[in-house]
Structure 1
Amino acid sequence: MANPSSSCPILCASFNQDASCFVIGTREGFKVFDSNTGKLFYERAIGAFIVVEMLFSSSLLAIVGAGEQRSLSPRRLCLFNTTTGTPLRELNFLTSILAVRMNRKRLIVVLQDKTYVYDLNTVKILDSIDTVPNPKGLCAFSPNLDGCFLALPASSTKGSVLLYNVMELQSHCEIDAHRAPLATIVLSSNGTYIATASEQGTIIRVHLVSDATKSYSFRRGTYTSTIFSLSFGPSMQLPDILVATSSSGSLHVFSLGFALNQRSRKSSSILGSIIPDSFTDALDPAHHHVLHSAVTAGVKSNAVIRHVDKVADASTTGIVSCKATISIITYNGYLQEYSFSLNQRNEPSWTLEHEFNLLSVISDDTSSS
């Protein structure tokens, strides 16, 4: 969630569950875009919004006002139909709504001290979760119904994560990921892996959700930096890569596929049997690739991996080349699309394919505004 007092024109930004579309909220209203083309699908200029979430490629949006207009209270959630241009249902809360997540069965509403789980179709409340103070509305949600987990902070003083199964309506486990409080969390689309960063921002950790075991530790850098976003690749198995954006303006790519292949080779060596994997992963720069000054330093950004193509070598067990499409929304009003390639020698290359000014795009459908 964006800070409404920020000088940036975008107050919130999010991709839908398959990253085919994205939405932004501004002080004027909200807009829906196509991720592939940057085309503006829909816009509504009725005031400031701090939460706008889209359900896949449907006409359903969950929207929350910023409170700058009396009719747009930050305590009111509106389920909005973009086809008819009308509200479907409204839910009111005692305190401000900090985050909203959806899939085809569940609606999640995050407040500072409590999180609510609803049946999306009936909008009937199914459970309420008492949480530690969560003023940033930190949460992660896996939209896949077979591994449908919700991740929330479990501590205010350290980086612990509560994992909750929203289909079974019960807690799954708690993971102690960092010594410092959490700054960013993300689940893979199938709910198999969770990646976390603390307020220190120096280490990115990846855990296997099923048994809460640590799979990877990647060092982002030596100096403290705010991690604005984390995103797994779209693979339904082990995600090939994980990306992060930070306050330094850099775009970071961590190659999980290459790390797995190299780790399997290392474990058969004498050195590999002595040095723990988590230690070597954190210090080994071979799996970490950085594009410096990808976005403006200090400006909040939200990145996703939209596509990953890979070529396997029959003579090895690992990926020999990988190409990914990475889209970044910057809160100063731009969409950037990068092509990232990793060859068989683990050498990266970057290309800025497209850049759009999201605030100057005009919709073809003039009736939507």
Structure 2
Amino acid sequence: MSLSDGFGYLKQGLVTGLGGFGLGGEMDPAISFLSFNQDASSLTLGTEDGYKIYSLTSTDKLDLVYSNQEKEVFIAERLFSSSLVAVVTMDNPRTLIVSHFKKGSEICRYSYNERIQGVRMNRGRLVVCLEDSLFIHNIRDMKVLHVIRETPPNPRGLFALSTDSDNNYLAYPGHSTIGELQIFDTVNLYSRVSIPAHEGQLAAMQFSPSGNRIATASDKGTVIRVFNCENGSKLYELRRGLKRTATIYSLAFSPCGSFLACSSNTETVHVFRMEEKTTDPAPLCGSPSEDLFGYIHQFVSAGAVLLPTQMTDTLMQGRAFASVHHTLTGVNRCALVSIRNSVRLLLASQDGRLYIYNLDHKEGGDCSLIQQFQLIDQDNQILGLEDGLQDLNPASPSGSSSCSSSSPSSTTYADRLKNKANSEMTDSDKFHEMESATETPPTQCFLLDDDREFPPV
């Protein structure tokens, strides 16, 4: 899931996008960012004193994968379950650093002419969002492939990058006042389609795992729409609420792409089920046609021409299949994952807690709380949930603006290779690490709580 995506960050009252927290709101000053990675297999939590990465491999425990004490980090994006992390600090908000946290080595760094608002990665591309431009890098060698310039002002860093290699798309706002969505092909480097998604400004967007669909929400937050990325056609219209507007914090597809979760500043997380459209007269298992709403849907579809347009649109909108009711008052992020063939809803909150809920994929309804984890203590210190793990701090920045080594120019490559420390990486090491991290895993079912599928980092 892109998590991820992916989606921006809030640091000392400054909103910079949607990758972690975003869209304003008061936050615990101890928390600077909080985000899931692309497939929600890990959670990154940061404070003004550093950040930590937790592996979400089980409903029973959290494993601390990495701990960093570098201060003033406001972006830290991990590439799936690899050891690559993209970091931006408050001290150098125009500089992106890609590090190998297992070896404590810096792989490369790039500087831009403006403050970085957000970073997204998949196995083929790394995209950096500035307020008025987007830089598309080939992630294997970090070369700039294309720059989308003069985009509408985007101070929140709102954009999305698909996680699928076949549908490697980038989405970003195409207008500053209305909800126009631009879909860009990052492989063939051309604008694929422009979608008039909403009347109001876009507030959230998220690609499906396959990358062929994208969900969007506006600043009003009452309706979520899902579009086809190939031709821009609207596939689903989902109703979060009828009258009460909301600030949408995150959208998240399930790994199978059949469920979509939405978290906001209200006390409810909504989960929608999207049935595949079919011409087969036999209803799908658990499809809306089996219940009263399905009957109403069929009736309205048959008589749509006889009803006012506004009434037809409202009746045709899908309602939440499942929901989570909570008492949280701050910013939150949600994700949907599959653990041992069961769909779980994850909810990370600004108070430093992670909640895990069970989602009944057949019956829906209220999701039951399975487990909750405290990630930050009362003294605003990030908790290490695994004893004995040593901190691995990245090497000191060299000031280089490329992927070259930080060793002095007087030292030859052979000398570096012969005399390197255990954690030091040569240029060849860096290339192979980037290559291995971006390799597509085998197409099989991964169980997030099976250690054999995710060996220790």
Structure 2: unaligned runs, 5 residues or longer: 1-7, 14-26, 279-286, 306-311, 377-381, 394-457
- Structure 2 counterparts to residues 47-62 of structure 1, below 5 A: 47-62=71-86
- Give the residue type in structure 1 aligned to 2:62: G
Higher strand share: 1
Question: Deviation at 1:25?
Answer: 2.4
Change (3 A) 1:52 1:108: same
- Give the residue type in structure 2 aligned to 1:354: Q
User: What's the counterpart of residue 38 of structure 1?
Assistant: 62
Answering whether residue 369 of structure 2 is matched by residue 352 of structure 1, we say yes
Instruction: Write the distance in 1 (CA, Å) between the matches of 2:133 and 2:297.
Output: 47
Instruction: Write the distance in 1 (CA, Å) between the matches of 2:206 and 2:165.
Output: 16
Answering whether residue 215 of structure 2 is matched by residue 182 of structure 1, we say no
Deviations along 1:299-355, whole A, 9 cap, x unmatched? 111111011888xxxxxxxxxxxx520112212211111112144xx4513211111
Instruction: Write the distance in 2 (CA, Å) between the matches of 1:302 and 1:177.
Output: 23
Counterpart secondary structure, 1:42: strand
Counterpart secondary structure, 1:89: strand
User: What's the counterpart of residue 426 of structure 2?
Assistant: none
User: What's the counterpart of residue 40 of structure 2?
Assistant: 19
User: What's the counterpart of residue 173 of structure 2?
Assistant: 153
- Give TM-score scaled by structure 2 length: 0.71
Answering whether residue 103 of structure 2 is matched by residue 103 of structure 1, we say no
Question: Deviation at 1:366?
Answer: 2.3
Answering whether residue 392 of structure 2 is matched by residue 361 of structure 1, we say no
Q: 2:188 aligns with which of 152, 155, 168?
A: 168
Instruction: Write the distance in 2 (CA, Å) between the matches of 1:352 and 1:25.
Output: 25
State how many pairs are aligned. 343
- Give TM-score scaled by structure 1 length: 0.87
Percent identity (aligned): 29
Contact 1:220 1:288 in 2 (8 A): no
Deviations along 1:88-115, whole A, 9 cap, x unmatched? 1111111110110111221100000000
Question: Deviation at 1:54?
Answer: 0.6
Deviations along 1:130-186, whole A, 9 cap, x unmatched? 211001000111111100111101111111111001111111101111100011010
Instruction: Write the distance in 2 (CA, Å) between the matches of 1:349 and 1:268.
Output: 23
- Structure 2 counterparts to residues 150-299 of structure 1, below 5 A: 150-221=170-241, 222-235=243-256, 239-257=257-275, 261-262=287-288, 269=298, 271-275=300-304, 279-282=314-317, 285=319, 287-293=320-326, 296-297=328-329, 299=330
Change (3 A) 1:308 1:214: farther
Structure 1: unaligned runs, 5 residues or longer: 311-322
Deviations along 1:213-268, whole A, 9 cap, x unmatched? 11111111121110000001111xxx221001001132111111399843696599
- Give the residue type in structure 2 aligned to 1:280: L
Instruction: Write the distance in 2 (CA, Å) between the matches of 1:181 and 1:271.
Output: 29
Higher gyration radius (CA): 2
Contact 2:135 2:147 in 1 (8 A): yes
Change (3 A) 1:263 1:150: farther
Question: Deviation at 1:278?
Answer: 5.0
User: What's the counterpart of residue 143 of structure 2?
Assistant: 124
Instruction: Write the distance in 1 (CA, Å) between the matches of 2:339 and 2:226.
Output: 19
User: What's the counterpart of residue 109 of structure 2?
Assistant: 90
Q: 1:115 aligns with which of 130, 134, 156?
A: 134
Question: Deviation at 1:192?
Answer: 1.2
TM superposition outliers: structure 1 runs of 4+ over 6 Å: none
RMSD between superposed Cα atoms in Å? 2.3
Instruction: Write the distance in 2 (CA, Å) between the matches of 1:75 and 1:207.
Output: 33
- Structure 2 counterparts to residues 308-327 of structure 1, below 5 A: 324-327=343-346
